[in-house]
Structure 1
């Protein structure tokens, strides 16, 4: 058995999602998987007009009113979006390539709308506090990606939504650090050139540095990275919007509407008790004893860190990193005020309850979302029970298995033939994808797209103790025979 076959077996053993995808589509082209990414057809419990308006309002802040109007029209025609991404500058190969594949699905509109979570910390997996560089450290194939910080280390635990804007001094320090890495042999000449161009031309442009918030800066950098990935222009315009402000706007209405799903889940005692018990200990939800995760909302501490909250009677409470107690009455008026003021952030569960379960927005996830979203949906259905059977029936029809998990169709070919993942820094640095390359992406077999992605994500799917020694380097060396769009680069 080859190493590639072995790690595919390991991934399938530990991930029902990977197992099911391989069972159905292992030798099929990615085009077949993309053809299945369609919005649900069932009528949602709540109308979606307010959702389109909220997305358009947030889109207009970064992209202007004309793009906002296009986005609203696109979502009306196809209410389906990727939601496994994190908000902020994205150089994570798996999420960027997932967005690219989503833009290539049959009948995709002019705008690819990505709703990203901004309540994550700056040093989360996607690393929005700097750049992920898919370049082997000292040439070692198993030592990638590397991280190049831009935001100061003292801010690494701040949420992306509260991050301070980056400035010219931060960019200068990052460029100097990159040069030192090159002199020490930690990165290749190709990596230094590619990353320095991103720092100088995208991060360091006067227009970007003049923007008043980190979120606006990140959106501009992501647009430049996206456009730099294509030789003849991108297949769609990238529109990246933070999900939490959209949900806060919708919740400001839902919390006061007795007919809304959120109102039933939060304020009908029997339903809330059943929901809290049914999802206790489930991934991306909460654990009440001992307290882990958060219930319905995150608090926001003075240093911009999110604070887990527990529901104690009619009080939502938590303690921040300085020991300061945060407390809100669990009532519509006080929750709405805190949400709109930015003192509370809707949790993962609350975001999906508001967007997917209440309004039927089809959410395309990754390897985690496709596991926890069906569990959340069943928890909501069970909690509503027969008393609210019509609402439960509408929630039960919402699709929860849509995914673009661990699939990469573009790889960087190193001298000697090894294949490693490629993020937007590497794709742009190699000259971008030609129209022929873009056309070839959807012809890559699903099986090979998994293996190409594994150096980036396998250790998140399979426990470290089950992975063979040297698997990442061995997989990169063996993957030369894999079908993928190859970026030929010098060392």
Structure 2
């Protein structure tokens, strides 16, 4: 039995109207509005078939990307999985890019993978789930790559909050970029286990969830082969594959989770692109006319750069400078000694004097010569990380890979694409580049939908992440079939617990919206979604 909750109860009359909340979200997100207007009444499987458009004639060949995927997967998941990943990407060049790197416990993220796993490849069910996840985010990013997430309210707290966080990595390193985090060890797992025992002693989580967490820490995190890997980025690849399979009642029949770091795949492609004047990346970075026009076109755009803010940051010598992500960066992030990101501004009047310059959060100046060989050396040394723009240009635009993302990406990726098309159309001799870029899909939206929820006290319906799925015994074939037939509209309703705080600013969110939304979920969705 649970200890008596100190959280204020929710009355039936106090619950929210899900349709009204979704209408608020739609009004704030053109991407969600368009998806629901055009596809809201169809099944998720039908939506996948309509949404997954493919570029048949990419600006650059894809063979090197397939090789990069094979090389990345082989030492971590084995030859068979590496072959499957490369073959399915060749047959259907589409990946998930809505995710952040690290071990994935976020309900919306994992359930996006679940929906994507239902796609067909060459007329047959997919056997892999290719995810290229952003690694230049911090450990304490909202997706919480720092540790585990449990979608269960803390019954001893004064507020109803989701999810409960169980950190693996210590607080002192929470701002380090996931790309650069050293591997966790047995000592960190022991600390997490000790912390979790305190949580279970106070009955903050249910016995079933507690057993699932203890099993994940003991059997997966403490796996000797995983402990021996050289970085957290590599550990996350293997852990995501193992934990994903445990979410299914028949794990041997589950598709392989291929959770790779976006920046590492980009680094492998840049080894050739930065020495190839015929590559899209080389033209964008080192053709002065094209580069100037691209920098102007995307100045101030989301996920790109704001040169005015970056210039102001450069002027703040020896001062504490918070929030490096607020101004974006040009082509690459710098990485300082503590593993934090540094926004970089391109300075210099000519290509010979071009330099990437920036200041870290302590006001210390950093500079990197903007030449291909020096950039590649900075990437190899871990002093540079490719920006989102660089990653999407090398992978999505250059090689015509369909990048399926969330409600933000489906907008900003289209903005990037249209800017590149305008630039190449305006540049003499580059019309063919513009034409071929226009064939690459850029508005593919998949995140923002969920299909699996878990009930609490027969009154509340909450999101379900991997821990909840594992605690239930895993998803059955019957449940997976139900997921396939769920409508796009209902999947958006089921995801509001995660979507609402992304879309609506704090002042526009209803009071005590977590418990009220959970009760509204229970009233409207219990018979529609998969409840575990």
1:149 aligns with 2:167: yes
Deviations 1:313-338 (A, max 9, x none): 21101122444422112112211221
What pairs up with 1:50-449 in 2 under 5 angstroms?
50-107=64-121, 108-138=125-155, 142-233=160-251, 234-291=253-310, 292-313=327-348, 314-386=354-426, 387=428, 388-449=430-491
Secondary structure at 1:240 match in 2: strand
Contact 2:494–2:521 under 8 Å retained in 1: yes
CA distance in 1, matches of 2:56, 2:80: 30
Shift of 1:39: 4.1
Contact 2:180–2:382 under 8 Å retained in 1: no
Deviations 1:385-433 (A, max 9, x none): 2421110111111101112121000000112232100000110011111
Secondary structure at 1:55 match in 2: helix
Shift of 1:287: 0.3
> Counterpart in 2 of 1:473?
515
Shift of 1:200: 1.8
Deviations 1:57-91 (A, max 9, x none): 11113112332222222111111100111121000
Shift of 1:215: 2.3
Q: Which runs of 5+ in 2 are unaligned?
A: 1-14, 311-326, 349-353
1:18 aligns with 2:32: yes
> Counterpart in 1 of 2:321?
none
Contact 1:182–1:192 under 8 Å retained in 2: yes
Contact 1:39–1:361 under 8 Å retained in 2: no
CA distance in 2, matches of 1:275, 1:210: 43
Secondary structure at 2:399 match in 1: coil
Q: Which runs of 5+ in 1 are unaligned?
A: none
CA distance in 1, matches of 2:120, 2:93: 15
> Counterpart in 2 of 1:460?
502
CA distance in 1, matches of 2:288, 2:106: 42
CA distance in 1, matches of 2:398, 2:224: 42
CA distance in 2, matches of 1:399, 1:51: 17
Contact 1:175–1:196 under 8 Å retained in 2: yes
Calculate the TM-score normalised by the size of structure 1: 0.95
> Counterpart in 2 of 1:3?
17
Deviations 1:98-151 (A, max 9, x none): 011101123343221111111111111211111111011217884101111111
Change (3 A) 1:403 1:475: same
Deviations 1:158-191 (A, max 9, x none): 1112112112221121122112123334333333
Secondary structure at 2:205 match in 1: coil
CA distance in 1, matches of 2:399, 2:436: 10
Q: Which moved more, 1:205-214 or 1:332-341?
A: 205-214
Contact 1:150–1:174 under 8 Å retained in 2: yes
CA distance in 2, matches of 1:2, 1:211: 47
Secondary structure at 2:58 match in 1: coil
RMSD, aligned CA: 1.7
Contact 1:257–1:263 under 8 Å retained in 2: yes
